[in-house]
Amino acid sequence: MLNITDDIRQLKRLIETKAQHPYLLKYIQKPSLDEDKLILLLGLFNDLDVTSDKRNQYISSTMLVQIALDTHEIVSNSGEGIESPEVLKNRQLQVLAGDYYSGLYYQGLASVGNVDMIRILSSAIKKINDNKIILYQQGSINDVPTLLKTIKAIEASLIHKLGDYYNEPAWMELSEDLLLVKRLHAEKSSYMKSGQSIVFDVLREMTFDDSIGGEVSIKEEQVRTQFDKCLWDARQSVERSMRKLAKLDDELLKRVKAILEQTESIANSYVKEG
């Protein structure tokens, strides 16, 4: 099997160097890099007839888009109540940082004259933002399949659009399934730590519209059971998707295994607090 550890390290340095801005880093945290999406992109492009220079340019541009989206997400999740001048300045800089990272992606692809790639990633950005609105708009999602489809669109559209362009359905499928599992793990972790999770909120609306008057504890247990079923089914989908790829590098296999191991025992994972 291939080992792409050196490629990952090289790409991380390239992306972090491009995203570095001394003034922004004085006031906001260093942008985080989603290594799982980086590994998936590298796996996809290693299966294509693309030069290493172009591969690195396309992957770094795509990851800059992801960083821009993640930076704007921080802004949208942090604005509550009256803000001090310092907090307001920080929020404004987060917005500017997101716009800055987006500009870097356009600049990078324009420098190699790839209009198609700009179009593909722009389409993915629109799909991601449209589905974020659907997820957070109360009453927009009425069933589990729609909920999971919406999460997949938010998490995997960048890779999905590229896989579609290059006619790589196996990578499209694996990316959607793996990133769905990862997002569900994040939602479950948030729920267990703070009781907050948009996915649990949507499931509550969906499951209990006709159950007014029932015991709250029973309703919540039903939501937990439904969530864990979604997580378990998504895990099974990842295993099926992996079998459709002829080769997987060691780093991706190791990461997939780590993600799947988190779902080995989900039955008694909730902790009653307080």
Dihedral (Cα; 250, 253, 258, 259), 10-degree rounding: 140
105: Cβ contacts below 8 Å, ≥ 6 apart: 61, 62, 64, 65, 68, 121
Say what the pLDDT of residue 1 is. 44
Which parts of the chain register pLDDT below 50?
1-2, 209, 211-212, 267-268, 270-274
CA distances from 92 to 73, 98, 99, 152, 207 (A): 13, 10, 11, 29, 38
Say what the pLDDT of residue 41 is. 94
Global pTM value: 0.85
Say what the pLDDT of residue 270 is. 47
Average pLDDT along the chain: 83
Say what the pLDDT of residue 269 is. 53
Which residue in 189, 158, 187 sits closest to 175, CA to CA?
158
Share of the chain above pLDDT 70, in %: 81
Residue in this structure with the two tokens 């500017």, named with its chain if needed: 96
